[in-house]
């Protein structure tokens, strides 16, 4: 049985349709005449609580829907595995189209689910959802990922795309190395580009928020080389610009990361300045994004280049810190893109607006 509705994650030129289940099962999706299994080298997977079916984005966009198929296992064995009859669940899917674009951003829920779901509902119609890290407090077992699938499933009902990015708390816990198995990513990597109609985006992953040798991590972290890999990744994206952010019909360019890496985080949290400066320079000179959307600070703010928030004068575009958490009071940020304007609305879990700001932008 499905624990929550599916999440349709945008990764590269695919969607990863991911579904949490309550019992071991086999799963696949049908789009038109084609079938996409959750499999590894020809074997249908059943030993994980979350299924993943990777499908070409173009196909799902054109079809406007998919059928999720599940066969619950009775007993998996070497010969004559037994299972229940196939259950089918049809889902309508709405790809992002040109025109007014609306999306909602959630980060730093730290295991709260009802509050961000209510805030997203209060924003109203959206074309896609961004989940930008620290939805979990830490990761001990597969159950902990329920928060991701509860939030994504209840807001999108498998009917619109979701962009996912990892936060520093997602790296903590006795069993956090399983994270890539339970979340979307490009060949197991938590940084990648995505494309949603006229919107192109790049997800970057700053990793932990302190130096690798910090006592808190007990020798378990190697984010420095991981960040250096991403400098190379940004260069590859730039080399491939014509197929990425300069592709015909791309109208909006977004950078998504959990930690606002152009900002001076202060004290032991101010790390990797040389790498982050280089990211900002490459992004600013070549990609020229319209927005960077980030979390981590547990507050809502819109920060222009040259403002006090732009500590080193390296911000390539406005930075929106788009999620607030005070106790159990949560607010996410809704974005509305109309010709020449980006409107940002901070929306509380009670439906109030705690921030309303409009930016001029070439969108």
- Minimum CB separation of residue 108 from Fe ion in Å reads 6
- Minimum CB separation of residue 265 from Fe ion in Å reads 11
Q: Pick the closer one to Fe ion by CB: 51 or 227.
A: 227
Q: Do the Cβ atoms of 276 and 257 come closer than 8 Å?
A: no
Locus of tokens 């590859």? 236
**Alpha-carbon torsion 209, 210, 215, 217, what sign?**
positive
- Minimum CB separation of residue 224 from Fe ion in Å reads 18
Q: Give the number of other Cβ atoms within 10 Å of residue 12's Cβ.
A: 16
- Minimum CB separation of residue 80 from Fe ion in Å reads 49
- Minimum CB separation of residue 146 from Fe ion in Å reads 20
Q: Pick the closer one to Fe ion by CB: 146 or 260.
A: 260
* Residue of 162, 190, 164 lying closest to 176 (CA atoms): 190
Q: Pick the closer one to Fe ion by CB: 158 or 167.
A: 167
Residue number closest to Fe ion, CB atom: 296
Using CB under 5 A as the criterion, which residues of the chain lie in contact with Fe ion when the complex forms? 134, 167-168, 296
Strand partners, 341: 338, 360
Q: Which long-range contacts (CB under 8 A, 24 or more apart) does 136-141 make?
A: 136/110, 136/111, 136/169, 136/170, 136/173, 137/110, 137/111, 137/169, 137/172, 138/169, 138/172, 138/173, 138/176, 139/170, 139/172, 139/173, 139/175, 139/176, 139/178, 139/179, 140/173, 140/174, 140/175, 141/175
- Minimum CB separation of residue 327 from Fe ion in Å reads 17
- Minimum CB separation of residue 8 from Fe ion in Å reads 25
Q: Pick the closer one to Fe ion by CB: 46 or 168.
A: 168
Sheet holding 65-75, edge to edge: 34-37, 25-31, 65-75, 82-92
Q: Pick the closer one to Fe ion by CB: 168 or 324.
A: 168
Q: Pick the closer one to Fe ion by CB: 253 or 296.
A: 296
Give residue 50's Cα distance to chain centre.
16
Q: Pick the closer one to Fe ion by CB: 167 or 289.
A: 167
């Amino acid at each position: 049985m499905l624990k929550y509705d599916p999440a349709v994650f945008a990764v590269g030129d695919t969607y990863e349709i991911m579904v949490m289940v309550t019992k071991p099962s086999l799963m696949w999706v049908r789009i038109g005449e084609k079938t996409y299994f959750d499999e590894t080298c020809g074997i249908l997977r059943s030993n994980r609580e979350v299924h993943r079916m990777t499908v070409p984005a173009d196909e799902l966009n054109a079809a406007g829907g998919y059928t999720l198929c599940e066969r619950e296992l009775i007993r998996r064995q070497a010969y004559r595995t037994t299972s229940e009859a196939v259950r089918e669940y049809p889902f309508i899917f709405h790809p992002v189209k040109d025109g007014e674009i609306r999306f909602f951003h959630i980060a730093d829920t730290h295991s709260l689910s009802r509050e961000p779901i209510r805030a997203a509902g209060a924003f109203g119609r959206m074309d896609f959802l961004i989940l930008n890290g620290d939805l979990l407090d830490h990761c001990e077992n597969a159950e902990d990922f329920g928060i991701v699938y509860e939030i994504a499933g209840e807001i999108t009902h498998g009917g619109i795309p979701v962009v996912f990015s990892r936060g520093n708390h997602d790296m903590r816990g006795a069993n956090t190395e399983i994270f890539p198995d339970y979340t979307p990513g490009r060949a197991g990597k938590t940084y990648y580009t995505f494309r949603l109609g006229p919107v192109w985006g790049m997800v970057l992953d700053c990793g932990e928020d302190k130096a690798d040798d910090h006592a808190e991590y007990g020798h378990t972290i190697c984010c420095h080389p991981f960040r250096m890999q991403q400098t190379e990744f940004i260069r590859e994206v730039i080399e491939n610009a014509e197929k990425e952010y300069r592709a015909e019909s791309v109208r909006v360019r977004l950078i998504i990361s959990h930690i606002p890496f152009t900002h001076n985080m202060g004290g032991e949290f101010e790390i990797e300045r040389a790498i982050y400066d280089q990211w900002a320079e490459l992004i600013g000179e070549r990609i020229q994004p319209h927005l960077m959307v980030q979390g981590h600070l547990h507050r809502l703010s819109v920060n222009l280049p040259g403002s006090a928030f732009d500590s080193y004068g390296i911000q390539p575009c406005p930075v929106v810190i788009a999620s607030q958490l005070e106790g159990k009071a949560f607010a996410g940020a809704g974005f509305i893109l109309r010709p020449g304007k980006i409107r940002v609305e901070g929306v509380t879990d009670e439906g109030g607006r705690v921030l309303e700001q409009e930016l001029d932008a070439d969108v």
